[in-house]
């Protein structure tokens, strides 16, 4: 009998949950608990960490999970590493549903770097208006370049004070190309810091930056151990159906 665990928190995970529910398969959707009002899912849902790889392995055993689909954000590397470890130790089939990264198009002015610290270093010394298109848990190192005026965009209003004074936009995506263009023009944005998340939902800002000729400091995805990975919900469903038919 199949009982899948979806590690979620992304639009792809929501689409997958809808497909699994439609197919009538037994599955649990797991949220990390970062967002205050996560979207409803058509599947039983749990929220919060498992307690590392061992905690996840315990959960897999307790809940008799037969398949794990890691549909977390490409930068949610800790969860993905834990999933690899826990699935290996419990011999549970694992697949990662991860959209392809964006690739540079003509007109893009990307500075591709490895991590947040390198992004801070890549910003100019002269004061600029900088759009930090990254999660709030990653912004602290930018306090090291206080000469810039930072614009941040969050899904929820910040609960705790930010590590530095910044302009905050509270809004949930996806954002259109026109809206991104308008936002960048109105705020006279000169630099953008983004992570190479891929997908359509966050792509508009990259297109707007290209149109405005703005430099984008693009943080590459974290390195993960090899795992079976697909890029579409259809492929993840195929994998699940195939493994289910085989009773794997
Ligand atoms: P992370 O750094 O890889 O995870 C930190 C810890 O949070 C994990 O070790 C795990 O705790 C817990 N966790 C993360 N995702 C979980 C899930 N789906 N279910 C249960 N526990 C989870 O991840 P993150 O970057 O903080 O992202 C947290 C969640 O937000 C993920 O579900 C991700 O898909 C979603 N999200 C992230 C981003 C982003 O930019 N990173 C963007 C959109 C959505 P334990 O070790 O205790 O199990």
The CB of 50 under 6 Å from ligand 1? The reply is yes
pLDDT band at 144 (very low <50, low <70, confident <90, very high): very high
Burial of 81 (0-12, 13-18, 19+ CB in 10 A): middle
Helix, strand, coil fractions of the chain, as percent rounded to 5: 35, 20, 45
* Domain CATH for 179: 3.40.50.1380
Compute the distance from residue 216 Cα to the ligand 1 centre, in Å.
25
- Residue 137 alpha carbon, nearest atom of ligand 1: 26
Is the beta carbon of 10 within 6 A of some atom in ligand 1? yes
Say if ligand 1 is within 6 A of residue 72 CB.
yes
Specify the number of domains making up the chain: 2
Q: What is the pLDDT of residue 245?
A: 64
Same domain assignment for residues 80 and 120: no
Q: At what angle do helices 11-23 and 233-246 cross, to 10 degrees?
A: 40
pLDDT exceeds cutoff 80 at 247: no
pLDDT score recorded for residue 243: 77
Contact status, residue 134 vs residue 195, Cβ threshold 8 Å = yes
Residues 123, 74 within the same domain = no
What is the distance in angstroms between the CA of the first residue and the CA of the last residue of the chain?
A: 9
Asked whether residue 186 falls in the same domain as residue 234, the answer is: no
Which residue's CA is the closest to the ligand 1 atom numbered 34? 72
How many CA atoms does the CB half-sphere of 25 hold within 13 Å? 26
Residue 130 domain boundaries: 109-219
Is any ligand 1 atom within 6 A of the Cβ of residue 198? no
CATH of the domain at 21: 3.40.50.720
**Does the beta carbon of 75 lie inside 6 Å of ligand 1?**
yes
| Residue 244 pLDDT level (bands cut at 50, 70, 90) | confident
In this prediction, residue 248 carries a pLDDT of 46
Q: For position 133, what pLDDT does the model report?
A: 96
Q: Please answer whether residues 132 and 139 qualify as being in contact, where contact means their C-beta atoms are separated by less than 8 angstroms.
A: yes
Is the CB of residue 7 below 6 angstroms from any atom belonging to ligand 1? yes
Between the CA of residue 198 and those of 40, 148, 218, what are the distances in Å?
23, 27, 11
Give residue-wise pLDDT tens across range 54-106: 999 999 999 999 999 999 999 999 999 999 999 999 999 999 999 999 999 99
Mean pLDDT of the chain: 94
Residue 178 lies in a domain: yes
Same domain, 158 and 228: no
Kindly state whether residues 195 and 229 are assigned to the same domain.
no
Answer yes or no: pTM beyond 0.85: yes
């Amino acid at each position: 009998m199949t009982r899948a665990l979806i590690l979620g928190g992304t639009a792809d995970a929501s689409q997958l949950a809808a497909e699994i529910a439609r197919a009538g398969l037994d599955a649990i959707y797991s949220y990390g608990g970062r967002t205050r009002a996560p979207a409803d899912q058509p599947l039983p849902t749990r929220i919060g960490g498992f307690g590392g790889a061992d905690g996840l392995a315990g959960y897999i055993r307790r809940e008799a999970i037969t398949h794990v689909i890691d549909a977390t954000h490409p930068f949610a590397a800790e969860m993905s590493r834990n999933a690899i470890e826990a699935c290996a130790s419990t011999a549970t089939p694992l697949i990662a549903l991860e959209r392809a990264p964006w690739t540079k198009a003509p007109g893009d002015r990307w500075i591709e770097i490895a991590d947040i610290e390198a992004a801070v270093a890549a910003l100019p010394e002269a004061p600029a208006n900088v759009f930090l298109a990254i999660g709030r848990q990653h912004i602290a190192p930018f306090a090291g370049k206080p000469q810039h005026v930072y614009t941040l965009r969050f899904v929820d209003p910040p609960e705790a004070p930010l590590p530095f004074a910044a302009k905050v936009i509270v809004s949930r995506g996806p954002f259109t190309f026109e809206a991104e263009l308008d936002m960048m023009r109105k705020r006279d944005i000169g630099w953008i810091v983004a992570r190479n998340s891929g997908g359509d939902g966050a792509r508009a800002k990259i297109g707007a930056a290209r149109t405005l000729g703005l430099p984008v400091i693009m943080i590459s995805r974290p390195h993960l151990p090899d795992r079976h990975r697909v890029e579409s919900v259809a492929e993840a469903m195929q994998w699940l159906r195939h493994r289910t038919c085989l009773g794997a």
